[in-house]
Amino acid sequence: MALLDMLKAYSTDEKCREVLTKLRWPEGVECPRCKERRASWLKSRNQFECGPCSYQFSVTTGTVFNDTHLPLEKWFAATYLLCESKKGMSACQVQRTLGMSYKTAWYLCHRIRSAMIESQKEMMDGTVEIDETYIGGKARRGLPRKEKQVVIGIRKRNGELRLIHVNAATSEAIRKVMAENISEDVEVILTDESSIYPYAFTVDQKKLHKTICHSKEYVVGDVHTNTVESAFSLLKRGIVGTWHKVSAKHLPAYLEEMCFRFNRRKNSDLFIDTLRHMVTAPTLTFKSLTKETEAA
């Protein structure tokens, strides 16, 4: 959908609510509390009321939009911008483009991002490339060097991309990533010659393992990890160019956003699909977003 068409289609609160209602309850409005489908519309309050339990709610109740003071038109515009920019968009840019405070833009981006996540991840089969990369860690003048963050990338040939934040590039971390993502039906596993991989694999996985020596050549026939590496370069351009600095705490959410968009890059319904996730994903409160994480 082109920008002008989107702005026209969702120019009022009413139009936004109408599409969200269809996306959240394709089979009819359902009470979030008792799950009955016998709600009536209270025009004076601009809300639904459940017949059986009398609970009053709106289409945004209990979703990432929960308790928002921002007009839905701005939510839609911000969602559109986050979907359309291949490398993502910073809160600063959303602040300037849509006219709002930095704090509002920051929270808004995080809430949209929290819905840009695959709710059901299937185990990956076929030919998979696995590689690791390092994010951040550059010393800034006068500041201590920040620790580098390790990201494991898995890309199925002609298929999905996954980016996973791990504590360190160790066989143990790879083993866990394999167990959670790789199917028993996998056919070929491609990595570089790093010694962390063979130790991480099961006996069966070792039989399917092919390596490529990066110091000599990049491509030997079909044995290469170039497709996962191209995803890494997109990720790095996103982090350097768009988000500037990403803390270790928020890195997993950025990785999910990147994969969500990347895996739908040929899908013309990315915007609508994201809105659907936003009315079906759980609420993200400001408190949970800003709380300190326990030291890992």
For residue 236, which amino acid is it?
K
Tell whether residue 9 is a contact of Zn ion (CB under 5 A): no
Dihedral angle sign, alpha carbons of residues 225, 230, 233, 234: negative
Q: Using CA atoms, how far apart are residues 150 and 177, in angstroms rounded to an integer?
A: 13
Token pair belonging to 187: 């056919």
Choose which of 19, 20, 31, 189 interacts with Zn ion (CB under 5 A).
31
CB neighbour class for 250 (10 Å; exposed up to 12, middle 13-18, buried from 19):
middle
Task: Determine the interface stretch with Zn ion among 14-22, 32-40, 84-92, 267-275 (rule: CB under 5 A).
Answer: 32-40
Question: For residues 49 and 55, is the Cβ–Cβ distance under 8 A?
Answer: yes
- Minimum Å distance from CB 38 to Zn ion? 8
Q: Closest CB to Zn ion among 55 and 262?
A: 55
- Minimum Å distance from CB 46 to Zn ion? 18
Q: Whose CA is closest to 129, among 203, 231, 204? A: 231
Question: For residues 87 and 241, is the Cβ–Cβ distance under 8 A?
Answer: yes
Tell whether residue 53 is a contact of Zn ion (CB under 5 A): yes
Tell whether residue 57 is a contact of Zn ion (CB under 5 A): no
Q: Closest CB to Zn ion among 33 and 146?
A: 33
For residue 59, which amino acid is it?
V
Q: Closest CB to Zn ion among 33 and 87?
A: 33
Tell whether residue 29 is a contact of Zn ion (CB under 5 A): no
Count of residues engaged in binding Zn ion, rule: CB under 5 A: 6
Site residues (vs Zn ion, CB under 5 A)? 31, 33-34, 50, 53, 55
